[in-house]
Amino acid sequence: MATTLLERPETVEQAESRSKLFVPDLVFVEPAALDYPLGEEIYQRFRQQGIPIRMTTSHNQVRGIPGDTEVEQYRNAKRTLVVGVRKTLKFETSKPSAEYAIPLATGCAAHCHYCYLNTNIGTKPYIRVYVNTDEILSRAETYIRERAPEITRFEAACTSDPISIEHITGNLKRTIEFIGRQKYGRLRFVSKFHHVDSLLDAEHNKHTRFRFSLNADYVIKNFEPGTSTFEQRIEAAGKVAKAGYPLGFIIAPLYWFEGWEEGYTHLLEKLNRQLVPEAMEDLTFELIQHRFTKIAKKLILQRYPKTKLEMNEGERKYKWGKYGKGKYVYPDVKAKALQAHLETEIARLFPKARIEYFT
């Protein structure tokens, strides 16, 4: 498996590879996955494609991902797929955007330097998809019933980018249609990918909010290798809006760089020019400033040693979190400036849109 210096600004070849669907270099299959039709189907598909397949008793037993150094192994792991069964059917909470995280997969083949998965699934960077979808959805139904008539929202992107692997399982479409039938259930997810065509005819019943993660050109080009370009994401957002989905944008991480005000204004003006009118009717924005933990910083510098990502604790404010674990955010003056600028520009360019939160 080739390794590339992904921490550098992208080359033409890298930009082109953004439009390709992820194909794993190596697949591990848990035997229990073959008891499910979806597991068997995925297994047969990769076998026919000639992709190396190994059996593994459990994803915790995955061994032999190639690479002479930790960095090589990390990069190769991100091109490795594990097909398995989700055993824990207790869903994690997912505030502030939803009540629960719905577990459909973990991991992602892209290389965003600040990816939350660096720490969330730090030691297991391979991509894991689950094939016991009916059991997962049945558990979701129980959660919905427990809270009815309150609406229960599920977030499908807490541990993965669900669009980036949808062509492998089709699980996101199944979940969208399942939630479409739930009077008191709603689904949301976010993606940096544009592969949305298989979802356009899903019977979503407007119960799914389809969000795209966007950022200023400078940020996408320097820190998001392996994801779809800004233009690809906007084009996909237009298709999704035309298919009747409620649409949203997460601008994250809001990052302080030289020229950030013009950069973010340019992003919103471009979005305003390119977005189809259908999208404007029910549009949300979520704004998340850049943050990092000490552990994340260490991992990012190991994996992307030439990254330009600024993570200087001395220029940040320490924000205490749950269980005594804190993170470094921007000091109040910078955070407020980011928030004020984004809110002003969104109000100017998207007067009907709702800003859900800034954090």
Contacts to ligand SF4 by CB under 6 A: 108, 110, 112, 115, 117, 161, 192, 227
| Smallest distance from ligand SF4 to CB 59, Å | 18
Please, are residues 132 and 85 in contact by the beta-carbon 8 Å criterion? yes
Least CB distance to ligand SF4 at residue 206 (A):
25
Q: How far is the CB of 214 from ligand SF4 (least distance, A)?
A: 12
Q: How far is the CB of 164 from ligand SF4 (least distance, A)?
A: 6
By beta-carbon proximity to ligand SF4, the closer residue of 56 and 227 is 227
Give, as one character, the DSSP assignment of residue 177.
H
Cβ nearer to ligand SF4, comparing 108 with 296: 108
Nearer to ligand SF4, 76 or 152 (CB): 76
Q: Which is nearer to ligand SF4, 125 or 238 (CB)?
A: 125
Cβ 115 to ligand SF4 shortest distance, Å: 3
Q: E strands along the chain, which residues?
A: 26-29, 53-55, 80-84, 93-94, 98-101, 105-106, 127-130, 152-155, 185-191, 208-214, 247-254, 283-289, 317-319, 327-329, 354-358
Closer to ligand SF4 by Cβ: residue 175 or 227: 227
Chain center to CA of 87? 22
Q: State how far the alpha carbon of 109 is from the alpha carbons of 26, 217, 250, 293, in Å.
A: 13, 21, 20, 22
| Spatial contact of 90 and 146, defined as CB atoms under 8 Å apart | no
Q: How far is CA 147 from the centre of its chain?
A: 27
Question: CB 78 → ligand SF4: shortest distance, Å?
Answer: 8
- Taking the C-alpha atoms of residue 289 and residue 192, their distance in angstroms, rounded to an integer, is 17
Tokens 């039938």 sit on residue = 181
- Output Rg (C-alpha) for the chain, integer angstroms: 20
Nearer to ligand SF4, 84 or 253 (CB): 253
